[in-house]
Amino acid sequence: MLLQELVTVTDAVVATSSRLAKVAALADVLRRLDRAEIVPAVGFLLASPRQGRLGVGWRSVTNLDVPHAQNPSLTLNEVDAALDALAGTDGPGSVAARSAELERLARRATAGEWDLLARIMLGELRTGALEGVLLDAVAKASDRTPAAVRRAAMLSGDLGETALLALTGTADGLDAVGLRVGRPVMPMLASTAGSIADALDGLAAGGDRVAASIEYKLDGARIQVHRDGDEVHVYTRSLAEITHRVPEIVDAVRELPAERVILDGETLTLDEDGAPRPFQDTMARFGSETEAAAVLRPWFFDILHLDGDDLIDAPLSTRLDALARVAGEARMPGIITDDPAVAEEFSREALAAGHEGVMVKTLDAPYAAGRRGKGWLKVKPVLTYDLVVLAVEPGSGRRTGMLSNLHLGALDPTGEFGEPGGFVMVGKTFKGLTDATLRWQTEHFPTIETHRSAYALHVQPVTVVEIAIDGVQRSARYPGGVALRFARVKGYRPDKRPDEADTIQALRALLRG
């Protein structure tokens, strides 16, 4: 299949808000794939190539300026082979070799194909073809039940291989996929509640509140740990294996009173006083191939298998009982209550200890691997800051023709990071924008334009916007050394002047340690 066919289908998926239409368009493409194309194509549609890290960054992709092909000729297998070459390039001369391979790929691609490839390689496809939609498309294309496809995907931890099995195998083969120690499982995901009371009400059965598990929500990294005797494997949220990078977690799991176990949890690094270090420190530790001074400590909040018994379909209450027998001090702190006041007090303890908030979980639900449902609800304080728009990028897909992604700046009153009274960029966001807001800013920002670059319209720093964030992290990309986490627009503030915006110093104060 030509890459151009994926360009066409991703454009179609972006252009519609109908889930059924997205599923139908994707299913049509999936049916026409050759066997060898299925796994690569699924990775492309999710902007998650099967090769994993390719060794190319935003600058090397976006700064590439070469003539593109006039007519499409690239096949999916050729693209997959090129990504193999990029991912496999290492050692002396690898930067030049990778650049040459990237340039060859760019020259073979049409402009439209290169736009798609760039977004795939940078993980920024944003087609709406999220895993849930693609799972339904696989089910439709293969004439399997969505439940069977979803379960096989969550237990195998590999949507590409699940698609291959569904599209080329038998229904019995799909149903035979089971939990296996040593093979990572897609993690269960949480939805968000505005408050403890809202979360408990959301879990209520028949209008009556029921007891729920209230647990610390750490600002750490998700881990899934598999142990079979002395053999231990540690996986990230995205199911990448990091066992060799976290020997302290491996040692801790080997001390647990179990021979075969699958545990779900989080890990973070602690400072000298036992307080959690910033999320960025934990992620830096994950990315290090060498021994580091920062030690990761694991906390486990769920258990999926214990010494021959699969627990994934058991209610949380049963899983917590099993976890209590195994995890010991590595168990995530938590209580069981139906009283909002008791839960609120526990939440305050979590915040005082330096954590993000709490998780509220229903006790009767199984582990819904790979799904974001109502059984787990996260509750954490929302931080809002008034920032200034520095630039805005054109939208894509259904936002084509609109100005969408905002470049956000914080006030620098002292000139610590530039000119006194200037603004320091701290991040971007396109989230939280309603259609009405998109129309307004598309009309507004060209009236205060200062200049244009290849990717953005730069504007006078006079427009104040209220931004909700989950926190900040250290960043070498921005001059203030800080970047927003999970920023989304709450609304514009025409009542505020730019000199009333929040400062870079206020954002930096959120960094712990």
Q: Which residues are catalytic?
A: 217
Cα–Cα distance for residue pair 148/18, rounded to 1 Å:
23
Q: State how far the alpha carbon of 103 is from the alpha carbons of 52, 72, 120, 249, 271, in Å.
A: 20, 16, 16, 41, 45
Tell me the CA distances in angstroms from 154 to 128, 143, 183, 185, 352, one per residue in order. 20, 19, 11, 6, 35
Give the CA count within 13 Å in the CB-facing half-sphere of 394: 8
Q: Which letter does DSSP use for residue 500 in this model?
A: G
Strand order in the sheet with 296-306: 231-236, 221-228, 260-269, 296-306, 309-310
Strand partners, 359: 215, 378
What are 492's two structure tokens? 């514009």
Tokens 């949380």 belong to 316
Among residues 221, 219, 162, 194, the alpha carbon closest in space to that of 30 is found at 162
Q: What is the rounded distance in angstroms from the CA atom of residue 476 to the CA atom of residue 425?
A: 12
Give the C-alpha separation, 125 to 478, whole Å: 23
Grouping H, G, I as helix, E, B as strand and the rest as coil, residue 240 is coil
Please name every residue paired with 264 in a beta bridge, in sequence order, or none if there are none: 224, 302
CA 185 to chain centre: 16
Q: Residue 205's Cα: distance from chain center in Å?
A: 31
Q: Whole-angstrom Cα distance, residue 148 to residue 134?
A: 14
User: What token pair was written down for 370?
Assistant: 């790979």
CA 438 to chain CA centroid, nearest Å:
24
| Residue pair 219/276 in contact by the 8 Å Cβ criterion | yes
Residue 363 Cα to chain centre, angstroms: 26
Q: What span, in angstroms and rounded, lies between the C-alpha atoms of 467 and 502?
A: 11
SS3 category, 427: strand
